[in-house]
């Protein structure tokens, strides 16, 4: 069915489920920290707007949290159903890391979530604030363990291979592998940005509809300060992450750049746009800026960036997909920086809440953070191919022995069920946002 192999269908299925899943934790990470700030400001100032916004966004947080848990469970089961050889090979490392995530993060979140959502008038103020802080801390701890596991698959170390199975010998080296700090920082700031644009778009929509309450203005103002600070910081983290990737996964960088061949003595140009062709081994219709790739990636105008032809064809990722997913992420990042600077200029001109053009722009930017996260993950995961554990286990050797028919039917079921269940959740969340915060 679909004319695809079982391996391709298994990859599509995992990509589908993880793409659905990652949206919800990204929002909960940012919203949890936003709720801590709102409650802290309310405790300090006793301004009712902060309490009003807390109750409003805690409902949306709860919906996201529930959908994130459900979608995450399904994804975890796929390691055993569709990727059993990967589980057999690397389960001694990925299994404990995911277990640590459950024991430290999930139990922490679950233990205090009820107090946070239902304990406002039932427990003391300090205890309730502590519960909110613990939920926010839990989301960050969860990110820590998930990124540790994924980063080890990208840059594995701290292990030995015995009887075709990975055996951990140094857990600190496993966890704090070379790419982990960059991935953790990149993902956390991405989640904060996605949430900030989500919040800003909600405020912009209400302001455009004539709801210019002080609560809406505070919501827009707080999110714009976050965007102004975090968006440029994310660009700096991304640059450092790129240099780390160049060191440990140079073929991925070559695919991101659509760069096929180095000519003797020539610096590497930056290809802005083009169509990488895997068969012809060239990037067609390339629009180039001379020297710029060398300057960005090597901080020099004479050093060359690794080219795809330097690697065997069987070790190259799909350059077309990696090339364009990377550009979607970077392009949206540039728009985010522009949004932050535009907001600062309007704040200076005292027109932040009155500029229709700006408010419409922020409304349209609502999904930008989530789209950028998905594009970034596509770049990371497709760029790692053909490896599941980079340099150790190929994807074709990790997939379970399923037939095309079984994988096709399960993929169709996932599409139908996910679209139905999470579609209802998304619709309910949008209904809450349209209603806006209501005074009690």
DSSP letter string over 282-323?
Answer: EEEEEEEETTHHHHHHHSSSSPPPP-GGGS-GGG---HHHHH
Give pLDDT, residue 427.
Answer: 87
Give me the residue label for tokens 């709102």.
Answer: 38
Q: Single out the residue of 56, 35, 60, 127 nearest to residue 440, CA to CA.
A: 56
Q: Are strands 270-277 and 282-289 parallel, antiparallel or unpaired?
A: antiparallel
Cα–Cα–Cα angle for 190, 194, 196, rounded to 5 degrees: 115
Q: For residue 167, give the H/E element and its range.
A: strand 165-168
Give pLDDT, residue 128.
Answer: 92
d(CA 312, CA 247) in angstroms, rounded, equals: 18
Query: What does the pLDDT look like over 61-100, one tens digit per residue?
Result: 988 888 887 777 777 777 778 888 888 898 899 888 988 8
Q: Which two tokens stand for residue 313?
A: 């064809």
Give pLDDT, residue 1.
Answer: 57
d(CA 351, CA 147) in angstroms, rounded, equals: 40
Q: Sign of the CA dihedral 148, 114, 217, 212? A: positive
pTM for the model stands at 0.92
* Low-confidence stretches of the chain (pLDDT beneath 70): 1-2, 439-440
Q: Are 398 and 242 in contact (CB under 8 A)?
A: no
For residue 389, the cross-strand partners are: 393
Q: What is the largest CA-CA distance in the chain?
A: 72
d(CA 86, CA 67) in angstroms, rounded, equals: 26
**Cα–Cα distances in angstroms (integers) from residue 294 to residues 243, 263, 302, 310, in the given order:** 11, 13, 7, 17
Give pLDDT, residue 2.
Answer: 60
d(CA 95, CA 393) in angstroms, rounded, equals: 17
The residue extents of the domains of the chain are 1-154+403-439
E strand intervals along 188-230: none
Helix axes 214-248, 48-81, angle to 10 degrees: 30
Q: Sign of the CA dihedral 293, 277, 315, 382? A: positive
């Amino acid at each position: 069915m679909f004319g695809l192999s079982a391996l391709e269908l298994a990859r599509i299925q995992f990509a589908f489920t993880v793409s659905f899943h990652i949206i919800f934790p990204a929002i909960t990470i940012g919203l949890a920290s936003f709720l801590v700030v709102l409650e802290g400001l309310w405790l300090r100032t006793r301004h009712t707007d902060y309490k009003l916004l807390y109750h409003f966004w805690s409902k949306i947080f709860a919906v996201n949290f529930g959908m994130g848990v459900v979608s995450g469970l399904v994804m975890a089961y796929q390691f055993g159903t569709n990727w059993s050889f990967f589980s057999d090979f690397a389960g001694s490392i990925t299994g404990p890391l995911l277990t640590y995530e459950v024991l430290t993060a999930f139990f922490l979140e679950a233990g205090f979530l009820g107090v946070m959502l239902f304990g406002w008038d039932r427990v003391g103020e300090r205890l309730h604030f502590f519960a909110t802080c613990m939920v926010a801390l839990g989301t960050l701890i969860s990110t820590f363990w998930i990124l540790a596991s994924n980063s080890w698959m990208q840059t594995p170390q701290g292990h030995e291979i015995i009887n075709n199975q990975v055996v951990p010998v140094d857990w600190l080296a496993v966890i704090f592998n070379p790419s982990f700090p960059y991935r953790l920082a990149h993902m956390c700031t991405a989640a904060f940005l996605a949430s900030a644009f989500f919040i800003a778009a909600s405020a912009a929509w209400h302001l455009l509809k004539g709801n210019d309450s002080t609560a809406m203005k505070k919501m827009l103002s707080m999110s714009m300060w976050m965007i102004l600070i975090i968006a440029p910081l994310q660009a700096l983290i991304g640059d450092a992450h790129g240099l780390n990737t160049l060191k440990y996964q140079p073929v991925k960088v070559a695919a991101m750049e659509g760069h096929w061949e180095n000519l003797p003595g020539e610096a590497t140009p930056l290809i802005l746009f083009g169509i990488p062709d895997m068969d012809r081994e060239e990037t067609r219709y390339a629009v180039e800026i001379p020297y710029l790739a060398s300057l960005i990636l090597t901080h020099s105008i004479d050093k060359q960036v690794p080219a795809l032809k330097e690697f065997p064809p069987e070790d190259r990722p799909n350059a077309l997909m990696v090339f364009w997913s990377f550009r979607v992420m970077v392009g949206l990042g540039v728009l985010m920086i522009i949004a932050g600077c535009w907001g600062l200029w309007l704040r200076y001109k005292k027109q932040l809440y009155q500029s229709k053009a700006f408010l419409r722009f922020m409304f349209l930017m609502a999904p930008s953070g989530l789209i950028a996260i998905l594009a970034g993950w596509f770049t990371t995961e497709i760029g790692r191919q053909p490896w599941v554990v980079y340099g150790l286990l190929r994807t074709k050797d990790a997939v379970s022995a399923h037939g095309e028919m079984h994988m096709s039917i399960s993929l169709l079921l996932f599409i139908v069920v996910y679209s139905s269940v999470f579609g209802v959740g998304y619709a309910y969340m949008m209904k809450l946002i349209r209603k806006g915060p209501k005074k009690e």
